[in-house]
Amino acid sequence: MIIEEIKHGIKEWNETRKMVDKSVHYMTNGMYFEIERTDYLRLREMDPSSVHVYLVPYKGSMKMVLIDSVSDREGIFRDDRMFIKDFNKGMDMSRYTQFIEMDESGDIEVITALKRIFKWNLLRDSWITNEILRSRHGLFQAFCIPIDDLNELFMSETQSKALAVLGLTENNEAHFILWAEDASRVIAPRVEDIVLPVPPFGGEHPESAFQLLIQSILSIPGNTGPKATK
Protein backbone atom coordinates (compact mmCIF):
# COMPACT_ATOMS: atom_id res chain seq x y z
CA MET A 1 0.00 0.00 0.00
CA ILE A 2 1.21 3.51 -0.79
CA ILE A 3 0.38 6.61 1.26
CA GLU A 4 -2.45 7.64 -1.08
CA GLU A 5 -4.10 4.23 -0.60
CA ILE A 6 -3.71 4.50 3.16
CA LYS A 7 -5.30 7.94 3.21
CA HIS A 8 -8.11 6.75 0.97
CA GLY A 9 -8.76 3.85 3.35
CA ILE A 10 -8.81 6.15 6.38
CA LYS A 11 -11.34 8.36 4.59
CA GLU A 12 -13.44 5.33 3.75
CA TRP A 13 -13.42 4.13 7.37
CA ASN A 14 -14.39 7.62 8.57
CA GLU A 15 -17.71 7.15 6.76
CA THR A 16 -18.04 3.39 7.11
CA ARG A 17 -17.71 3.48 10.91
CA LYS A 18 -21.13 5.21 11.03
CA MET A 19 -22.84 2.41 9.05
CA VAL A 20 -23.87 -0.75 10.87
CA ASP A 21 -23.74 -3.27 8.00
CA LYS A 22 -20.38 -2.13 6.63
CA SER A 23 -18.84 -1.79 10.08
CA VAL A 24 -19.93 -5.32 10.99
CA HIS A 25 -18.47 -6.59 7.70
CA TYR A 26 -15.03 -5.09 8.32
CA MET A 27 -14.86 -5.85 12.03
CA THR A 28 -15.80 -9.49 11.47
CA ASN A 29 -13.00 -9.64 8.89
CA GLY A 30 -10.55 -10.51 11.66
CA MET A 31 -9.83 -10.41 15.37
CA TYR A 32 -6.11 -9.68 15.81
CA PHE A 33 -2.96 -8.33 14.21
CA GLU A 34 0.72 -9.02 14.88
CA ILE A 35 3.57 -6.69 15.81
CA GLU A 36 6.90 -8.27 14.95
CA ARG A 37 9.98 -7.55 17.04
CA THR A 38 11.54 -5.83 14.01
CA ASP A 39 8.46 -3.57 13.80
CA TYR A 40 8.81 -2.70 17.48
CA LEU A 41 12.49 -1.80 17.16
CA ARG A 42 11.69 0.60 14.32
CA LEU A 43 8.62 2.07 16.03
CA ARG A 44 10.57 3.01 19.15
CA GLU A 45 13.40 4.80 17.28
CA MET A 46 11.71 8.22 17.51
CA ASP A 47 11.21 7.79 21.28
CA PRO A 48 7.41 8.09 21.02
CA SER A 49 4.96 7.97 23.90
CA SER A 50 2.68 5.66 21.93
CA VAL A 51 2.01 3.90 18.65
CA HIS A 52 -1.06 4.95 16.65
CA VAL A 53 -3.04 2.17 14.98
CA TYR A 54 -5.32 3.23 12.11
CA LEU A 55 -8.13 1.10 10.72
CA VAL A 56 -7.80 1.08 6.93
CA PRO A 57 -10.21 -0.78 4.62
CA TYR A 58 -8.38 -2.04 1.55
CA LYS A 59 -9.81 -4.11 -1.29
CA GLY A 60 -12.68 -5.41 0.80
CA SER A 61 -10.67 -6.36 3.89
CA MET A 62 -9.35 -4.47 6.90
CA LYS A 63 -5.72 -3.51 7.39
CA MET A 64 -4.11 -1.97 10.47
CA VAL A 65 -1.57 0.77 9.81
CA LEU A 66 0.90 1.48 12.62
CA ILE A 67 2.90 4.70 13.00
CA ASP A 68 4.76 6.06 16.01
CA SER A 69 3.18 9.10 17.70
CA VAL A 70 6.13 11.41 16.93
CA SER A 71 6.09 10.71 13.19
CA ASP A 72 2.29 11.07 13.14
CA ARG A 73 2.35 14.37 15.01
CA GLU A 74 5.08 15.74 12.73
CA GLY A 75 3.48 14.44 9.53
CA ILE A 76 6.37 12.10 8.65
CA PHE A 77 4.55 9.57 6.50
CA ARG A 78 7.45 7.56 5.08
CA ASP A 79 7.43 3.87 4.24
CA ASP A 80 10.01 3.21 6.95
CA ARG A 81 7.77 4.84 9.58
CA MET A 82 4.51 3.06 8.77
CA PHE A 83 3.79 -0.65 9.17
CA ILE A 84 0.85 -2.33 7.44
CA LYS A 85 -0.55 -5.33 9.27
CA ASP A 86 -3.19 -7.87 8.29
CA PHE A 87 -6.31 -8.11 10.43
CA ASN A 88 -6.26 -11.87 10.94
CA LYS A 89 -8.92 -14.46 11.68
CA GLY A 90 -8.68 -17.93 13.10
CA MET A 91 -6.87 -17.73 16.44
CA ASP A 92 -6.57 -21.07 18.22
CA MET A 93 -7.88 -19.98 21.61
CA SER A 94 -7.07 -23.37 23.14
CA ARG A 95 -3.39 -22.37 23.07
CA TYR A 96 -4.12 -19.70 25.69
CA THR A 97 -5.93 -21.78 28.28
CA GLN A 98 -2.75 -23.51 29.52
CA PHE A 99 -1.71 -20.20 31.12
CA ILE A 100 -4.91 -19.50 33.07
CA GLU A 101 -3.46 -20.64 36.41
CA MET A 102 -0.10 -18.93 36.00
CA ASP A 103 0.60 -16.02 38.36
CA GLU A 104 2.84 -13.99 36.04
CA SER A 105 0.90 -11.37 34.13
CA GLY A 106 1.04 -7.77 32.95
CA ASP A 107 -1.76 -5.27 33.40
CA ILE A 108 -4.44 -7.96 33.57
CA GLU A 109 -4.59 -11.67 34.32
CA VAL A 110 -4.74 -14.20 31.53
CA ILE A 111 -8.23 -15.37 32.52
CA THR A 112 -9.51 -11.77 32.35
CA ALA A 113 -8.01 -11.32 28.89
CA LEU A 114 -9.61 -14.54 27.67
CA LYS A 115 -13.01 -13.53 29.03
CA ARG A 116 -12.79 -10.19 27.21
CA ILE A 117 -11.82 -11.84 23.92
CA PHE A 118 -14.66 -14.36 24.16
CA LYS A 119 -17.07 -11.57 25.07
CA TRP A 120 -16.09 -9.59 21.96
CA ASN A 121 -16.54 -12.64 19.73
CA LEU A 122 -19.93 -13.37 21.27
CA LEU A 123 -21.38 -9.84 21.37
CA ARG A 124 -19.47 -8.13 18.55
CA ASP A 125 -22.34 -7.60 16.08
CA SER A 126 -24.82 -6.31 18.65
CA TRP A 127 -22.15 -4.15 20.30
CA ILE A 128 -21.26 -2.52 16.97
CA THR A 129 -24.93 -1.83 16.24
CA ASN A 130 -25.58 -0.33 19.67
CA GLU A 131 -22.37 1.71 19.65
CA ILE A 132 -23.14 3.30 16.29
CA LEU A 133 -26.70 4.13 17.31
CA ARG A 134 -25.62 5.40 20.73
CA SER A 135 -22.62 7.52 19.83
CA ARG A 136 -23.97 9.19 16.65
CA HIS A 137 -20.33 9.48 15.56
CA GLY A 138 -19.77 5.80 14.86
CA LEU A 139 -16.97 3.52 15.93
CA PHE A 140 -13.36 4.31 16.80
CA GLN A 141 -11.08 5.88 14.19
CA ALA A 142 -7.81 4.63 15.66
CA PHE A 143 -6.15 3.10 18.73
CA CYS A 144 -3.17 4.18 20.85
CA ILE A 145 -0.70 1.63 22.18
CA PRO A 146 1.52 3.03 24.96
CA ILE A 147 5.15 2.43 24.03
CA ASP A 148 5.78 1.37 27.64
CA ASP A 149 3.48 -1.62 27.11
CA LEU A 150 5.46 -2.70 24.06
CA ASN A 151 8.72 -2.17 25.96
CA GLU A 152 7.43 -4.56 28.63
CA LEU A 153 6.32 -7.17 26.12
CA PHE A 154 9.59 -7.10 24.17
CA MET A 155 11.86 -6.82 27.20
CA SER A 156 13.16 -10.32 26.62
CA GLU A 157 15.03 -10.92 23.38
CA THR A 158 13.16 -14.21 23.00
CA GLN A 159 9.91 -12.30 22.45
CA SER A 160 9.46 -12.53 18.70
CA LYS A 161 6.11 -10.79 18.40
CA ALA A 162 3.10 -9.36 20.16
CA LEU A 163 -0.49 -10.14 19.25
CA ALA A 164 -3.09 -7.36 19.50
CA VAL A 165 -6.45 -9.08 20.04
CA LEU A 166 -9.84 -7.37 20.19
CA GLY A 167 -11.71 -7.69 23.46
CA LEU A 168 -14.70 -6.22 25.25
CA THR A 169 -14.20 -5.05 28.82
CA GLU A 170 -16.50 -5.44 31.80
CA ASN A 171 -17.74 -1.92 31.03
CA ASN A 172 -18.48 -2.91 27.42
CA GLU A 173 -15.59 -0.89 25.99
CA ALA A 174 -13.80 -2.31 22.96
CA HIS A 175 -10.01 -2.35 22.98
CA PHE A 176 -7.02 -4.38 21.87
CA ILE A 177 -5.35 -6.72 24.36
CA LEU A 178 -1.61 -7.27 23.87
CA TRP A 179 -0.14 -10.76 24.23
CA ALA A 180 3.56 -11.59 24.12
CA GLU A 181 4.79 -14.50 22.04
CA ASP A 182 8.27 -15.99 22.25
CA ALA A 183 10.49 -17.39 19.52
CA SER A 184 9.22 -20.95 20.11
CA ARG A 185 5.70 -19.70 19.17
CA VAL A 186 4.37 -20.55 22.62
CA ILE A 187 2.23 -17.76 24.00
CA ALA A 188 3.92 -16.17 26.99
CA PRO A 189 1.70 -15.41 29.98
CA ARG A 190 2.11 -11.64 29.91
CA VAL A 191 -0.84 -9.47 28.95
CA GLU A 192 -1.19 -5.70 28.61
CA ASP A 193 -4.48 -3.97 27.97
CA ILE A 194 -4.04 -0.17 27.98
CA VAL A 195 -4.77 0.23 24.26
CA LEU A 196 -7.07 3.24 24.05
CA PRO A 197 -9.52 3.93 21.21
CA VAL A 198 -9.97 7.41 19.73
CA PRO A 199 -12.23 9.30 19.68
CA PRO A 200 -12.51 10.63 22.31
CA PHE A 201 -9.40 12.76 21.89
CA GLY A 202 -7.74 14.77 24.63
CA GLY A 203 -5.15 14.58 27.39
CA GLU A 204 -2.09 12.73 26.13
CA HIS A 205 -3.86 12.06 22.81
CA PRO A 206 -5.01 15.42 21.37
CA GLU A 207 -6.64 15.44 17.97
CA SER A 208 -3.74 17.47 16.56
CA ALA A 209 -1.39 14.52 17.20
CA PHE A 210 -3.21 12.42 14.59
CA GLN A 211 -2.01 14.18 11.45
CA LEU A 212 -2.51 11.13 9.25
CA LEU A 213 -6.18 11.16 10.20
CA ILE A 214 -6.53 14.94 9.82
CA GLN A 215 -4.82 15.08 6.44
CA SER A 216 -6.84 12.12 5.16
CA ILE A 217 -10.16 13.68 6.17
CA LEU A 218 -9.20 17.15 4.92
CA SER A 219 -8.57 15.69 1.49
CA ILE A 220 -12.32 15.03 1.18
CA PRO A 221 -13.94 17.96 -0.67
CA GLY A 222 -16.10 20.00 1.67
CA ASN A 223 -14.60 18.62 4.89
CA THR A 224 -13.00 20.87 7.47
CA GLY A 225 -11.59 18.17 9.69
CA PRO A 226 -12.34 14.93 11.51
CA LYS A 227 -15.77 14.64 13.08
CA ALA A 228 -14.97 13.20 16.48
CA THR A 229 -16.42 12.95 19.95
CA LYS A 230 -14.53 15.23 22.27
Examine residue 96 and state whether it is found in any structural domain, yes or no.
Answer: yes
User: Is residue 223, in this structure, part of any structural domain at all?
Assistant: no
Q: What is the pLDDT of residue 224?
A: 44
Q: How far apart are CA 100 and CA 176, in angstroms?
A: 19
Please report, in tens digits, the pLDDT of each residue of the chain (230 residues total). 899 999 999 999 999 999 999 999 999 989 999 999 999 999 999 999 999 999 999 999 999 999 999 999 999 999 999 999 999 987 766 555 555 455 455 567 778 888 898 999 999 999 999 999 988 779 999 999 999 989 988 988 888 888 899 999 999 999 898 887 765 544 444 566 567 688 767 667 788 899 999 999 886 554 444 443 33
DSSP state of 61: E
C-alpha span between 31 and 117 (Å, rounded): 9
**Domain of residue 17, residue span:** 3-218
The pLDDT of residue 219 is 65
Residue 224 lies inside a defined structural domain of this protein: no
Instruction: Say which DSSP state 209 is in.
Output: G
35 domain-assigned: yes
In a domain, 227, yes or no: no
Residue 34 falls inside a structural domain: yes
What is the number of domains present in the chain?
A: 1
Q: Provide the pLDDT for residue 12.
A: 96
* Residue 95 domain-assigned (yes or no): yes
Specify if 226 maps to a domain.
no
- Cite the DSSP H helix spans in the chain: 3-16, 20-27, 37-43, 69-74, 110-135, 147-153, 211-218
State residue 113's pLDDT score: 83
